[in-house]
Structure 1
Amino acid sequence: MRKNKWIAGIVSLSVLLSACSATQNQTESVASQDYEPVLPYDDSDSRIKHAGVISDTKTQVQIESGLADLSKDHFSPVDYKYKSQEFLDYDELDATDGSRGLLGTLRDKNPNGLNPASDEEFDTGNGKVTNATVLADIYELDFYKNKSLKGISLALVVNSEVGDNNTKIKKQKMYDYVEVTANKLVNYMHDRFNEVTSDIPIYVAAYEINSDSSSDSLGGYIYSGYFDGNSSKYKKINDEWIRVPSTTLQSMDETTYDRFTTFHDDVYDVLDDTSYVIGEAEYVDGSLSKMNITVTTHGRTAGEIQGVISTAKESMSVFKDTKCEYTVSIVNDDTTYCILKREKSSKNVSSVSIL
């Protein structure tokens, strides 16, 4: 797979951590299990489009891992393995100049474009906007059983603001757009690809990116639809990623904010001013679901890095909420040396280090 060294390291460590967790807890619930890939695993050139749309790797991971989590309600990890972007490759998505591809605008020469026509007045609920690019990207997971395609999940990555004046799209208007677009995309999948027969169920979820880069809210999943045969069912999703630390986190969940501050201070005692501890927290229906923390250092020796790892592992006990999954990455000079992970419903911390 042609990914950079940092991502490859994260994936490898994550796989090892999953293996460790499975060994420690054989009665782990389906909801907390991870999908296994269909091997040999083939990459897709769609990653070029993903990177061009969203440069932040963490957000890319949140979109795809979040789609996988949501998909578990329809495609159990016990029964299915996955491939990614098996059908929607770069050419299918391409919207370099807006004239072609699913991400392009609707026009005579691009009847499958999922963005409004450039001269169409898109109703945001806060006013009508022309040349509105609502849909930014599409992620795809394909689920297989015994090497046969049995289901597909798609993530519609949508912008929270559109137009030259960055007009905010009200929630109901976004729901309306997602319903129409999801239905059109599902029909396209069935019509375009022979393998995606009419009996293949398709799950579509919309991930809204917060267009305000200064906001403490990073975005999250807001709406979904499940299409099975001639039936479809839509559902609102209350999912949001928050910067850690931030004033927003402090106001919405002071307990978690205080616990992170304690963790930060414990780890910072062995660091210096060139190091920092930051993260992101995911809230689902108002409750903390995941927290990812990155401890970044510079110019550290192996012994010093080990000291940071040991301190961070011990300090993770400050997080008392066992309904949340915690992951701590220890990075030195752009290389990830260790990942610490504590699964939901557990107080045990798994660790994988390359020291």
Structure 2
Amino acid sequence: MKKWLGLVILSCLLILASCSSNDNNNKVIKNNTKGDKEKVTIVPQDDSKDYQAIHSKTPSQTRGYIGYGVTNRKDIDEMEMGLMTLSKEHFNPDKYVFQEGRYLSEDEINGMLQRKSKKNPDGLNPPYGKGSNIQEKAMNSPKELSYVLEQDYLVKESDNKYKLGGVSLAISFNSVYHDKVMDSKGQTYDVDKPLDPNKVKANAKNYAQKVVQRVRQNKDLKNVPIFVTLYLEASPDSLTPGYFFNKAYVSQGSSDIGGWNTVNQKYVLFPSSNANDKYKEDAQSFDKFKSDVQSYFNNYIGITGEGYYKDNELSNLTFNINLKFYDKTEIVGFTQYVASLLQNKFPFDRSIPVQIYIKSNQQPEAVIVKNPDMDKPFVHVYHQ
């Protein structure tokens, strides 16, 4: 499922769930490993390749907690949606339904993310290093592990009962150690230290083994299969997200991660030196499209692109166009012009899904979507 449509569909499913929670035909009884029962709603998938979602009136206790460890919104979205996509390899949507993580508590997650110390001997991040002050001590021993994201996949036990069938984890790591540390006097200091990505990724497997062992200590997660993924975050101010780089499957009841498999995917920003150096043809295509877009107005039009590469092949394109408009007719005319470029003069391969977001002073004005199976782009102009 394409990234943009996946985000839209998930949002629609959640809205549908809240609207249909009083529909008795959708209510089921979910069994959890604690033995208690809860009435929930099963939200049907929009596409047969996607998961049905479980909606509960009781939110997960870790709802929104990911922001504690992952600061870039791009990374949060990619971790959540990317983990769901990767999970399909082991938890088939034909058999499993999706539920946000409900078994690991904030205390359990936070206990893993903390530095190892006398106060927190079970912390997985390293203790403070040497230094004359707390800032130096933090810089000399940076945190690598940033978050542990849980997703649950349930299977139908009978006509109206579901039970936990598997758990997926996205274990994320810093590419930049960005933190605030406090000394004994209550004074805070900012820490920003770029990390060697190769070193972080080499250490990640050891962290992951410890995370799985810790997860197995949760009595509700002792015996279910666990799908583990490793994710390297982008820098906090990056316009593109980081990427998954390894995955592994831990069998039911096991605490040992056997072999790892490589996940070959990444996001590339256009324009950028990275795109010019490593993806020259695509960078030239972006420049051509940008020039065609900017020819519509004499004044400056800001445009950036984000390319998603899977197994070194461009698999998805997203463009953000920002321009100051003075009236609605300008927005409509410009949107129609960009849609015509996408239909008739687009320099990229037409088999690549494309999403274009048009903004004015950072406020959304229009969206254009073109997938390979569409004869014409989908165009929507917002009416505010």
- 1:336 and 2:364 aligned: yes
Q: 1:169 aligns with which of 196, 207, 218?
A: 196
Identity of aligned residues (%): 22
TM-score, structure 2 as length reference: 0.69
C-alpha distance in 2 between matches for 1:89 and 1:293: 37
Give how far 1:104 is off.
0.6
Corresponding position of 1:302: 328
Structural mapping, 1:86-125, within 5 Å: 86-94=102-110, 101-119=111-129
Q: Per-residue displacement from partner, 1:158-197 (whole Å, max 9, x unpaired)?
A: 12355979464353x4344222222222222232142x24
Q: Summarize the Cα distance change of 1:39–1:212 in structure 2 as closer, same or farther, 3 Å threshold.
A: closer
Q: 1:149 aligns with which of 136, 140, 164?
A: 164
Q: Report the AA paired with residue 316 of structure 2.
A: K
Corresponding position of 1:324: 352
C-alpha distance in 1 between matches for 2:165 and 2:289: 44
Q: 1:283 aligns with which of 268, 287, 309?
A: 309
Give how far 1:251 is off.
2.4
Q: Summarize the Cα distance change of 1:254–1:167 in structure 2 as closer, same or farther, 3 Å threshold.
A: closer
Give how far 1:44 is off.
4.5
- 1:107 partner SS: coil
Q: Summarize the Cα distance change of 1:55–1:106 in structure 2 as closer, same or farther, 3 Å threshold.
A: closer
Q: Report the AA paired with residue 56 of structure 1.
A: N
Give how far 1:327 is off.
1.8
- 2:338 partner SS: helix
Q: 1:258 aligns with which of 279, 284, 287?
A: 284
Structural mapping, 1:209-288, within 5 Å: 209-211=233-235, 219-229=242-252, 230=254, 232-271=258-297, 273=299, 275-288=301-314
C-alpha distance in 2 between matches for 1:193 and 1:217: 38
**Residues 41 and 83 in structure 1, CA contact (< 8 A), matched pair in contact too:** no
- 1:233 partner SS: coil
**Residues 149 and 169 in structure 2, CA contact (< 8 A), matched pair in contact too:** yes
- 1:81 and 2:105 aligned: no
Runs of 5+ consecutive residues of structure 1 not aligned to the other structure? 1-9, 18-27, 95-100, 121-128
Structural mapping, 1:45-60, within 5 Å: 46=62, 48-60=64-76
Give how far 1:206 is off.
1.4
Structural mapping, 1:198-217, within 5 Å: 198=223, 200-211=224-235
Corresponding position of 1:349: 377
Give how far 1:130 is off.
4.6
Report which stretch shifted further, 34-43 or 136-145. 34-43
C-alpha distance in 1 between matches for 2:259 and 2:51: 24
**Residues 157 and 206 in structure 1, CA contact (< 8 A), matched pair in contact too:** yes
- 1:190 and 2:216 aligned: yes
Q: Summarize the Cα distance change of 1:167–1:246 in structure 2 as closer, same or farther, 3 Å threshold.
A: closer
Q: Which has the larger radius of gyration?
A: 2
**Residues 48 and 90 in structure 1, CA contact (< 8 A), matched pair in contact too:** no
Q: Summarize the Cα distance change of 1:77–1:130 in structure 2 as closer, same or farther, 3 Å threshold.
A: same
Q: Summarize the Cα distance change of 1:89–1:233 in structure 2 as closer, same or farther, 3 Å threshold.
A: same
- 2:113 partner SS: coil
TM-score, structure 1 as length reference: 0.74
Q: Report the AA paired with residue 85 of structure 1.
A: G
Corresponding position of 1:21: none
Corresponding position of 2:30: none
Give how far 1:274 is off.
5.7
Matched residues, number: 316
